[in-house]
Structure 1
Amino acid sequence: MTSRINRSPDHSSSSSSADEDDRQDVFSLLMGVFDHDDEDDDDQDEISDEEIEVSSESGSPPRRSESEEIESSNNINNGGRAVIPFGLLPLLLPLLQAGFLRGPVAPPRPAVGPIPPLQVPPPPNAHGHVLSPSPTPTPTLHRRNVVPSHFLLKIESFASFSKASVTKYRSEFEAGGYKWEISIFPNGDKKNGGEDHISVFLRLIHTNLPIGWEVHAIFTFFLFDQIRDQYVTCQDNAKVLRFHAMKTKWGITKYIDLKTFNDGSNGYLVNGICSFGAEVFVVKNTIKGDHLSMIEDPIKCTHTWKVDAFSNITQDRYESEPFVGGDYIWKIVLYPDGFGEGKGTNISLFLKLDVSSLPPNSKLFVNYVLRLKHQVNGKDFEQTDNNLFLSSNGWGFRQFMSPPKLKQIENGFLLNDSCIIEAQFEVLGLIKQD
Structure 2
Amino acid sequence: MGNSKSILKRSVAKPEKKMKEPNKPLQTPPKIRNFNFVWKIQKFSQLPSHKGFKCESGDFYAFDSWWRLQLVKEGNQYLGLHLCMQCAPSHFRFFDFSVKFKLSVLDQMGENHWTVEPKNAILSTSKKCGFSKFIELEELYGVDNCYVMDDTCVFELEIFSFTPIMKRIETLAVQVYEPEMHKWIIPNFSELPKMGPVTESFTMFDILWKLELYPNGRSESHRNVSLSLFYESSTPRPSAEFTLSIIDQIKGEHKKMTASTTFKFMGQNWVFLNFLALKDLHEPSKGYIVNDTCQVEVEIKILGFVDS
TM-score by length of 2: 0.55
In the TM superposition, residue 216 of structure 1 has moved relative to its aligned partner by 6.0
Change (3 A) 1:387 1:307: farther
Change (3 A) 1:249 1:206: farther
In the TM superposition, residue 387 of structure 1 has moved relative to its aligned partner by 3.4
- Who is 2:159 aligned against? 278
Tell me the SS of whatever aligns to 1:314: coil
Question: What is the correspondence of 1:153-168 to structure 2 with a 5 Å cutoff?
Answer: none
> Whose Rg is larger?
1
In the TM superposition, residue 172 of structure 1 has moved relative to its aligned partner by 4.6
Residue identity opposite 1:221 in structure 2: K
Question: What is the correspondence of 1:404-419 to structure 2 with a 5 Å cutoff?
Answer: 404-415=279-290, 418-419=292-293
CA separation in 2, counterparts of 1:377 and 1:249? 64
Contact conserved, 2:239 with 2:261, CA < 8 A, in 1? yes
CA separation in 2, counterparts of 1:345 and 1:367? 27
In the TM superposition, residue 425 of structure 1 has moved relative to its aligned partner by 1.6
Q: Does 1:174 align with 2:56?
A: no
- Who is 2:172 aligned against? 290
Residue deviations 1:127-162 (CA, integer Å, cap 9, x gap) = xxxxxxxxxxxxxxxxxxxxx954258x9xxxxx99
Residue deviations 1:59-88 (CA, integer Å, cap 9, x gap) = xxxxxxxxxxxxxxxxxxxxxxxxxxxxxx
CA separation in 2, counterparts of 1:277 and 1:331? 57
Contact conserved, 1:150 with 1:173, CA < 8 A, in 2? no
In the TM superposition, residue 427 of structure 1 has moved relative to its aligned partner by 3.9
Question: What is the correspondence of 1:276-355 to structure 2 with a 5 Å cutoff?
Answer: 277-279=158-160, 280=162, 286-295=168-177, 298=178, 300-306=180-186, 308-310=188-190, 313-320=193-200, 322-338=201-217, 344-355=222-233
Segment drifting more, 249-258 vs 364-373: 249-258
Residue deviations 1:285-317 (CA, integer Å, cap 9, x gap) = 64231212223xx36222223153447623333
Structure (1 or 2) with the greater helix fraction:
1
Residue deviations 1:369-419 (CA, integer Å, cap 9, x gap) = 322223444433222334333332323522211112222233232356x34
CA separation in 2, counterparts of 1:366 and 1:202? 43
Q: 1:390 aligns with which of 261, 264, 267?
A: 264
In the TM superposition, residue 221 of structure 1 has moved relative to its aligned partner by 0.8
Structure (1 or 2) with the greater strand fraction:
2
In the TM superposition, residue 355 of structure 1 has moved relative to its aligned partner by 0.9
- Who is 1:374 aligned against? 248
Residue identity opposite 2:270 in structure 1: W
Q: Does 1:423 align with 2:289?
A: no
CA separation in 2, counterparts of 1:369 and 1:207? 46
Change (3 A) 1:171 1:199: farther
Question: What is the correspondence of 1:97-176 to structure 2 with a 5 Å cutoff?
Answer: 150-152=34-36, 172-175=60-63
Change (3 A) 1:192 1:366: closer
In the TM superposition, residue 178 of structure 1 has moved relative to its aligned partner by 1.3
Q: Identity rate of aligned residues, in percent?
A: 14
Residue identity opposite 2:169 in structure 1: I
In the TM superposition, residue 236 of structure 1 has moved relative to its aligned partner by 5.5
Contact conserved, 2:83 with 2:130, CA < 8 A, in 1? yes
Residue identity opposite 1:428 in structure 2: I
Residue identity opposite 2:171 in structure 1: G
In the TM superposition, residue 326 of structure 1 has moved relative to its aligned partner by 4.0
Residue deviations 1:193-214 (CA, integer Å, cap 9, x gap) = 799x9986545465998xxx99
Change (3 A) 1:151 1:349: same
Question: What is the correspondence of 1:210-225 to structure 2 with a 5 Å cutoff?
Answer: 220-221=101-102
Unaligned 5+ segments in structure 2 are 1-31, 45-56, 105-113, 147-155
Tell me the SS of whatever aligns to 1:355: coil
In the TM superposition, residue 234 of structure 1 has moved relative to its aligned partner by 3.2
Tell me the SS of whatever aligns to 2:280: helix
Residue deviations 1:324-381 (CA, integer Å, cap 9, x gap) = 33423322101235469xx82421111223215xxx3x22243433222234444332
Residue deviations 1:261-282 (CA, integer Å, cap 9, x gap) = 979xxxxxxxxxxx97324556
Contact conserved, 1:222 with 1:276, CA < 8 A, in 2? yes
CA separation in 2, counterparts of 1:300 and 1:171? 59
Tell me the SS of whatever aligns to 1:294: coil
CA separation in 2, counterparts of 1:379 and 1:204? 61
Two-structure CA RMSD over aligned residues (Å): 5.2
Unaligned 5+ segments in structure 1 are 1-147, 156-160, 184-188, 224-231, 264-274
Contact conserved, 1:198 with 1:254, CA < 8 A, in 2? yes
CA separation in 2, counterparts of 1:379 and 1:180? 65
Q: How many residues align?
A: 242
